[in-house]
């Protein structure tokens, strides 16, 4: 009633209706992953990421089948938006995802060796990151002619059909392609914990290889299948062992180079084809970076000259540059030579499987034989059905008047077919067929013309039965179809093959400028590289309050720098990686520049150009280690090396010496020794604990270490020891270690 106050209903006790509500049940993580994560992972792999033996992912198959049902195989083009809208009946994952799939299948995008979509309008380019495709309302599409081979006899029960997501229509689980599409066009996918990358092969070579395998399972693939063939062209650097590995295992790496020519009048290199794994923008950015770093000095300018005629990258050269040598350098340093990593992970009967080329073709042959067998069964059933009807019609020929009389004298329409069955000893299907013949066709001429096909039908049925019983005949059908495909759609290779290419083993000449410089390192970790001219014109070194210069060196721009830290790490870099500065500048903060760990500080800087000499580690327990500096030399540009020295004992000091020298140690017990580093045997292990040099009493330790000059050693012979370990002499007050001249 209006104005009546509503009473609040008590909240229902849900625990009374839900068994076990509110209880917490422990579940092992392995069981949780198996029940919750594994179904998701398999769904991604099976329903999205990986292609099946027909060569298509579900998104590709749904799109192409939709276009086929729209009549776009033989009709004119339609707006891409129309196709996208229709495809959502099979693939309801958003129009943008569907359109992007269409773009990659189109001729205009140039992603595929044999495109499936005939496109009109801007579809972007596979070789350009920035060249975008137009919206779907502007572009137009239809199916390419080769798609007729994808759908041949699809209406003859060659493949299974399943309901779509809302059970309103049927869609094929696979496409009955008449050629091995799985290896004709590239297919890349990333699933959960696994990936797939199938490189394309030339259609003619692949079909010939498939035919050869059907005739001889032991056929050598290399006789007919040379190497992959990429839609972007370029050169394939032939490596028999690597290609053989791909053929046998489905894994390996194919090396692809760009195609270029030298325009002598303009002193310019023009690149017209690039590896399919890179883009114009990535190449230009890499070259520009190398120019800025000074690693390439032969190039004046690099630009993108791509137009409607196709891809072109222009590289202007400086006078006197050898274009061949420059390209060899660019192959090493840029994506102009790149590797296509093969991983032939394909779904077979619903499960991912990594296979070699021969195994994939064998699986496809089995799949195609099943398609042909199902088609023959379909045709056989149709012919048997027709023959059955004609044999019933043949019996009518014996007495047409009798058939007319039976029909005329039958009172009820429902009795016509049973009476015909009785009168001519035919079954219901045959009787129904006879009863449906028009009155004008109940003449001897019509019936004779129809029954002439009985003999040819019987012959066809016999041949079809023979075909079903012979794998050889089914293979011959497939071979004939493959030959037809080659004749219609075969094309020359786009990727040329380079045989006997000798890779340059030696490194390129480093053209980085080398000049004299002075290096300074402060206690707080600030580093400066100053040229002699700048240093002469400078005043005092600018430093933070309380900071001071701890090390300084006369070096060159190519000097290698090793920063040893108090956490047993060494960070490697080069002087050329730092900009020249002035004494009035603060300099570069090394821990930030090289990415030190938290609370990690510099212990010592070592400079070298040839990694000759030794590192001498002095430990507080009296032990000394001697390690050749070349143990820190690496072929790769490693920036950080751990275990630069042992962490099992506390380090006091570290010295770099080019040759054996004298070192003085003083202990907290007041003793001192002067020993030559020749007494210590060098070790190749970086974190060696060394050998005992100074014997120490309990609760004493080495607390100072110095490199002694020859003059000091001659004046203080009483501290010199001839063998180690040694106790040493008491240090007199007159011998002040802090006055020792350092190297």
The residues assigned a catalytic role are 138
Phi then psi for residue 665, to 5 deg, are -115, 140
243: helix, strand or coil: helix
Could you tell me which residues come within 8 angstroms of residue 79 by beta carbon, excluding any fewer than 6 positions away?
136, 137, 139, 140
DSSP labels, 589-630: EHHHHTTPPTT--EEEEEEESS--SEEEEEETTSEEEEEEGG
Could you tell me which residues come within 8 angstroms of residue 413 by beta carbon, excluding any fewer than 6 positions away?
none
| CA pair distance 450, 389, nearest whole angstrom | 10
Tokens at residue 328, please?
Answer: 């060899």
| CA pair distance 183, 230, nearest whole angstrom | 11
DSSP labels, 11-26: PP-GGGTSTTTT----
| CA pair distance 353, 344, nearest whole angstrom | 8
| CA pair distance 532, 541, nearest whole angstrom | 14
Tokens at residue 726, please?
Answer: 């040694």
Tokens at residue 606, please?
Answer: 């070592």
| CA pair distance 131, 279, nearest whole angstrom | 10
Closest to 83 measured CA to CA, from 95, 67, 71, 69: 67
β-strands 496-498, 235-237 pairing = parallel
C-beta of residue 519 within 8 angstroms of C-beta of residue 552: yes
C-beta of residue 280 within 8 angstroms of C-beta of residue 267: no
Strand partners, 691: 624
Closest to 514 measured CA to CA, from 554, 551, 555, 552: 555
Q: What count of residues does the chain have?
A: 743
CA atoms within 13 A on the CB side of 400: 12
Tokens at residue 649, please?
Answer: 């004992």
- Helices 357-397, 471-489: inter-axial angle, 10-degree rounding: 110
| CA pair distance 321, 324, nearest whole angstrom | 9
| CA pair distance 389, 384, nearest whole angstrom | 9
Tokens at residue 733, please?
Answer: 């007050």
552: helix, strand or coil: strand
H or E segment at 187? strand 187-190
| CA pair distance 358, 451, nearest whole angstrom | 49
- Going by the DSSP 8-state scheme, the letter that residue 559 receives in this structure is -
Closest to 175 measured CA to CA, from 61, 73, 98, 74: 61
Tokens at residue 741, please?
Answer: 């001249």
DSSP labels, 374-393: HHHHHHHHHHHHHHHHHHHH
Strand partners, 522: 549
C-beta of residue 635 within 8 angstroms of C-beta of residue 613: no
| CA pair distance 275, 72, nearest whole angstrom | 32
H or E segment at 244? helix 240-249
φ/ψ region of 681 (left if φ > 0, alpha if ψ in -120 to 50, else beta) reads: beta
């Amino acid at each position: 009633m209006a104005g009546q106050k509503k009473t609040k209903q008590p909240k229902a006790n849900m625990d009374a209706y839900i068994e076990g509500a509110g209880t917490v049940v422990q579940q092992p993580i392995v069981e949780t992953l198996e029940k919750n994560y594994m179904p998701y992972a398999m769904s991604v792999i099976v329903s999205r990421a990986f292609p099946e033996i027909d060569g298509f992912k579900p998104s590709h198959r749904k799109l192409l089948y939709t276009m086929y049902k729209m009549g776009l195989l033989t009709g004119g083009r339609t707006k891409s938006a129309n196709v996208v809208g229709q495809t959502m009946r099979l693939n309801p994952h958003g129009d943008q995802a569907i359109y992007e799939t269409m773009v990659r299948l189109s001729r205009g995008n140039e992603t595929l060796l044999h495109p499936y979509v005939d496109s009109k309008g801007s579809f972007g380019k596979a070789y350009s990151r920035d060249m975008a495709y137009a919206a779907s309302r502007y572009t137009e599409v239809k199916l390419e002619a080769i798609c007729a081979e994808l759908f041949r006899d699809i209406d003859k029960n060659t493949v299974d059909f399943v309901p779509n997501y809302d059970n309103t229509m049927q869609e094929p689980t696979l496409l009955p392609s008449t050629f091995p599409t799985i290896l004709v066009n590239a297919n890349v996918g990333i699933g959960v914990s696994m990936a797939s990358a199938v490189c394309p092969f030339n259609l003619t070579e692949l079909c010939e290889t498939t035919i050869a395998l059907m005739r001889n399972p032991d056929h050598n693939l290399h006789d007919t299948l040379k190497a992959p063939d990429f839609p972007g062209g370029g050169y394939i650097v032939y490596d028999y062992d690597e290609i053989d590995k791909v053929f046998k295992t489905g894994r390996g790496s194919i090396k692809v180079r760009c195609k270029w020519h030298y325009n002598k009048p303009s002193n310019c290199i023009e690149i017209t084809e690039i590896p399919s794994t890179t883009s114009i923008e990535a190449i230009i950015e890499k070259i520009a970076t190398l120019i800025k770093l000074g690693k390439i000095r032969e190039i004046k300018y690099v630009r993108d000259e791509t137009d409607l005629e196709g891809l072109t990258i222009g590289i202007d050269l400086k006078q006197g540059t050898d274009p061949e040598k420059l390209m060899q350098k660019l192959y090493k340093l840029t994506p102009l030579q790149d590797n296509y990593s093969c991983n032939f992970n394909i779904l077979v009967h619903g499960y991912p499987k990594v296979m070699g080329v021969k195994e994939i073709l064998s699986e496809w042959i089995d799949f195609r034989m099943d398609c042909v067998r199902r088609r023959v069964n379909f045709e056989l059933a149709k012919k048997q059905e027709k023959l059955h009807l004609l044999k019933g019609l043949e019996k009518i020929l014996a007495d047409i008047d009798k058939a007319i009389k039976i029909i005329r004298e039958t009172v009820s329409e429902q009795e016509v077919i049973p009476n015909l069955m009785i009168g001519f000893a035919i079954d219901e299907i045959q009787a129904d067929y006879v009863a449906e013949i028009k009155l004008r066709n109940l003449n001897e001429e019509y019936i004779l013309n129809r029954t002439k096909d009985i003999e040819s039908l019987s012959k066809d049925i016999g041949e079809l039965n023979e075909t079903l019983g012979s794998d050889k005949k089914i293979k011959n059908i497939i071979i004939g179809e493959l030959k037809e495909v080659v004749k219609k759609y075969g094309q020359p290779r786009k990727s040329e093959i380079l045989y006997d290419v000798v890779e340059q083993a030696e490194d390129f000449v480093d053209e980085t400028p080398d000049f004299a410089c002075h290096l300074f390192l402060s206690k707080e970790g600030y580093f400066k590289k100053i040229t002699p001219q700048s240093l002469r014109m400078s005043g005092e070194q600018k430093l933070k309050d309380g900071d001071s210069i701890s090390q300084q060196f006369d070096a060159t721009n190519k000097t290698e720098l090793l920063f040893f830290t108090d956490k047993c790490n060494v960070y490697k870099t080069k002087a050329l990686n730092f900009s020249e500065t002035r004494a009035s500048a603060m300099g570069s903060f090394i821990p930030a520049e090289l990415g030190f760990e938290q609370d990690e500080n510099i212990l010592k800087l070592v400079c070298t150009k040839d990694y000759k000499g030794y590192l001498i580690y002095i430990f507080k327990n009296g032990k000394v280690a001697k390690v050749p500096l070349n143990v820190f030399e690496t072929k790769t540009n490693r920036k950080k090396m751990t275990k630069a020295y042992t962490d099992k004992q506390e380090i006091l000091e570290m010295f770099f010496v080019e040759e054996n020298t004298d070192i003085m140690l003083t202990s907290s017990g007041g003793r001192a020794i002067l020993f030559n580093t020749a007494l210590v045997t060098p070790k190749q292990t970086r974190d060696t604990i060394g050998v005992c040099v100074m014997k120490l009493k309990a609760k004493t330790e080495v607390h100072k270490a110095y490199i002694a000059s020859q003059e000091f050693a001659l004046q203080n012979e009483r501290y010199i020891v001839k063998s180690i370990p040694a106790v040493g002499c008491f240090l007199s007050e007159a011998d002040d270690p802090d006055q020792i001249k350092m190297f």
